[in-house]
Amino acid sequence: MSATGFDKPGGPEVLRSEQLPVPQPGENQVLIRVAYAGVNRPDVIQRQGYYPPPPGASPVPGLEVSGTVVAIGKGAPPEMLGRRVCALVSGGGYAEYCLAHSAHCLRVPKAMTMEVAAAVPETLFTVWHNVFERGWAGNGDTLLVHGGTSGIGTMAIQLARAFDITVIATAGSEEKCQAIRDLGADLAINYKTQDFVEEVKTFTGGQGVNVVLDMVSGDYVARNIECLADDGRHVTIAVLGGLKAEINMATVMRKRLALTGSTLRPRADDFKALLADEIYNHAWPLFEDGTIAPVMDQTFALADASAAHARMEAGDHIGKIVLEVAGD
């Protein structure tokens, strides 16, 4: 099969096509003939040499795919054979065939294209776990999302609005701020021209937000804490602005704050299966009826994965970037 990988870490140009054996499904696994693969920030970080795949995972990048199940392993439901699915995977998405745990697959609705389906799993699983499970967001809360036009950001805005959560989001241009508003955000903040701490305080009448979804870390953490209301929750899912943060722990105690974070890729299969089940019951109906759909930015051919990575690194995209492997 054709796949896209790299020999040594580096810039987007190190990605290159290769021929690999078609993998065979093991226990509880299915083999998916890939139609499209999503491109995500962790793929970029892996290519740069900072995010190696967990033990047993394919070294080929790609954390989400859509396609058709063409083979099943022992213990996988036989009725999945021939089913259109999208799946969260721990690697291997940039290829014509990809293995997935059967319980990490979601059935693609008839009205959803495979191109769109490939843009769903990684952001949906990440947002659901971090905003609703770790951040305990609920009706009547206010959520601050950084990177509002990223794949994660656009998914977080839509999911939060669907559950009656007020959303404040940041972005780096007026065009991106308008895109955030169009998605339903209650307030869009241009972080290049506005102080998001002051804007949050003004919007909330000095009360602050209940949850912060942070992809920046670094010096943003102390500013995020200023934005949090009493009993607020700060959830970190990326460290694009730096690994370390200096914060005032007295403020954390006084406000009774909870600081947490997670990485999804190395979590156990059983955990991801439980997460997929919860998503299927509570969030997936919103995709089936069209209430929520991923924001699509641009689609590249699998052979042009380097251009897709370059676009993501440039930061000009709004929504999801995907790779076409076999098409619908």
**Of the candidates 108, 141, 142, which has an alpha carbon nearest to the alpha carbon of residue 124?**
108
Residue 176 has pLDDT above 90, yes or no: yes
The mean per-residue pLDDT over the stretch 48-62 comes to 95
Whether the per-residue pLDDT at 328 is higher than 80: the answer is no
Across the chain, what does the average pLDDT equal? 97
Q: Tens digit of pLDDT for each residue in 103-134?
A: 999 999 999 999 999 999 999 999 999 999 99
Of all residues in the chain, what percent are helix, strand and coil, respectively (each to 5)? 35, 25, 40
Q: Position of tokens 């998605």?
A: 183
Token duo for residue 224: 């995020």
pLDDT of amino acid 177: 98
Which residues make beta-bridge pairs with 84? 68
Task: Show the domains of the chain with their CATH numbers.
Answer: 2-120+265-324 (3.90.180.10), 127-261 (3.40.50.720)
**So what's the pLDDT on residue 293?**
96
Cα–Cα distance, 270 to 122 (Å, whole number): 17
Does the structure show a pLDDT above 80 at 323? yes
Q: What's the farthest any 2 CA atoms get from each other in the chain? A: 59
pLDDT for residue 278: 97
* Residue 235 scores a pLDDT above 90: yes
Q: What angle do CA 282, 266, 142 make, to 5 degrees?
A: 40
The 10s digit of each residue's pLDDT in 146-172 is 999 999 999 999 999 999 999 999 999
**Given this model, what pLDDT does residue 192 score?**
97
Give the pLDDT score at 327.
79
E-strand ranges in the chain read 2-5, 16-19, 29-39, 64-72, 84-88, 97-101, 105-107, 142-145, 166-171, 187-190, 209-214, 228-236, 258-261, 296-301, 320-324
